[in-house]
Amino acid sequence: MSNPTNLRYTAEHEWLALDGELARVGVTAFAADALGDVVYVDLPQVGATITAGESCGELESTKSVSDLYAPVTGEVVEVNEAVDADPSLVNSDPFGAGWLFVVKVAETGELLDAAAYDALLDA
């Protein structure tokens, strides 16, 4: 699966779609594939302040438990209830229905464009 060019990425394999001061956040197809079948998500709560580069949740798969890192600093304004109810959406549609949360951005972390993220994966 190719990585959408309209998104920004982190070295920890999160993606974000910026829309003004709001950013929708998820994990990349690469991360979803590496995790295996996601069976549980622990997302930050609405109203929580997250900090770029710090853990803000967990994804549990049949293989392991992995930290979810915040790609930006800001306040969580929405979580994806559908993923909470059906974590397999992270695997089946990581760039669509498998999004995780929306954050009101105060500050961005170190973000990559699709080409830089692809280069990171190829390294």
Round to whole Å and give the CA distance between 120 and 123.
5
Q: Which residue in this structure is represented by tokens 């669509």?
A: 96
Is residue 75 within 8 A of residue 21, CB to CB? The reply is no
- Provide the CATH number for the domain around residue 50: 2.40.50.100
Distance of CA 19 to the CA centre of its chain: 15
Other Cβ atoms within 10 Å of 103 Cβ, number: 26
Question: Domain for residue 118, yes or no?
Answer: no
- Each residue's pLDDT, cut to its tens digit, for the chain (123 residues) gives 579 999 999 999 999 999 999 999 999 999 999 999 999 999 999 999 999 999 999 999 998 999 999 999 999 999 999 999 999 999 999 999 999 999 999 998 789 999 999 999 997
Question: Domain for residue 35, yes or no?
Answer: yes
Q: What is the pTM of this model?
A: 0.94
Residue-range definition of the domain harbouring residue 19: 8-113
**Tokens, residue 84:** 């909470």
